[in-house]
Structure 1
Amino acid sequence: MATKAKPSEAKVPVLKGKEAEDKVLEYMKKMNRPFGAVDVSANLKGSVPKAAAQKILVSLSERGELVQKTCGKTTFFVANQANLEDMPTEKLAALESEYKKMDENNKQLVVETKMFSTEVNRLRSTPTDKELASEIVKVADAIEKAQAHLEPLRAGTRLVSAEETAQLDSEWTRWRNEWTRRRKIFLTFWSLVTDTLTPQQATELGGDLGIEHDTAEHGVLEKGALCSTGSVLGKRRR
């Protein structure tokens, strides 16, 4: 079953004879650009078939209406510039003035477009009323929790009991002593192992064995008030 042609696909009437020739000449003068027969036929929506367009173009060039040029194997035609109407000075001045006005108008439109684009981006990044309401609820909840946390401090309540402080002091002393003891044992052992090695060889051996020495943070901690003699967590010596 044949498919019905859509309205937009309706065929363009094919022109013939003088009507086709006038159509081609009118198009070539209007565009004032080089075209081949294929381009002319396609641009005229097939109203002048390719074969007919080629014959018409050749005929018009022989009559001096068009100029025929050959580039390699391609032949194209262009309107004879000598036959085109000269542009009066007044008309040229009017067109130049119109061009300048349109150019200024375009520049103004570009500025306005950028301004509106900036405003649109700002509006898009601005939270909506619903989003603001949600954020306000979150902030109010955070404030309420912070206030509840501050209340005992404002009332002078001790958050850590004396027993808990003593326990922390005991744990700190125990594990610091253990750290110091183990470090002393390691340094003694390491000194014996690397006694015959150069510092570079000792460093390479430590890297191969995956030995991690105390970092700069450990040194700062060891020299700080927390590790000073007689210092405890609950009562540091000043």
Structure 2
Amino acid sequence: MSKSKDAQAGVAVLDYLNKQNRPYSAIDICNNLHKEFGKTAIVKACESLAESGKIKEKVYGKQKVYVADQSQFPEVDDSEIRSMDSTITELTQKLQTNLEEVRRLESELKMLNSCLSTEEAQRQLTEATSQCAHNKSKLKQLKEGGNVVSPEEKEKVYGDRKKFVQAWRKRKRMTNDVLNAILEGYPKPKKQLYEDIGIETDEDYDVKPPDL
């Protein structure tokens, strides 16, 4: 790494420690500076700053931590510390209150977002009102014996009926063919075969395909 980059790392480390004024390891400093500088550069900067007396180095076993030189800061008396502690407590309580309010508002927002908008509710109301009026008109005609089925609708109903009946008969025939083929080599009666494979017949429900 260039001397210029090393110097930048030293300035960054010194500025960070002076602002935070709490002990950090070289790895913590590297991570807290968002890895703007490599670990090697941060370690070298810490050692260089400690040797020059700009920061203090503390050794705990194999761990080294670095902290700002406390002589540069004005002394704080006990009353000021107590005042700061009181302020911290007060601010912590306010923070907790604000966090609870945020959670309440987020819950309310989630509930509101799950509701219909005014425009959507009005649109659905209009559709429901129109459908209701149509159904009332249709019901009135039915009660009066009026013909409410158009020729096209009638033709479609009969066409669908024919198609479904044909499909019913075709599938029943295909199923019977398959079952008869199985029964040729099946050692048990047809009724037992139907029970074994779960076959339900039209006869079980007393129904049969209607005439076309």
> When the two structures are superposed, what TM-score results if normalisation uses the length of structure 1?
0.44
Larger radius of gyration: 1
> When the two structures are superposed, what TM-score results if normalisation uses the length of structure 2?
0.48
- For CA contacts below 8 A with separation 6 or more, give which structure has more relative contact order: 2
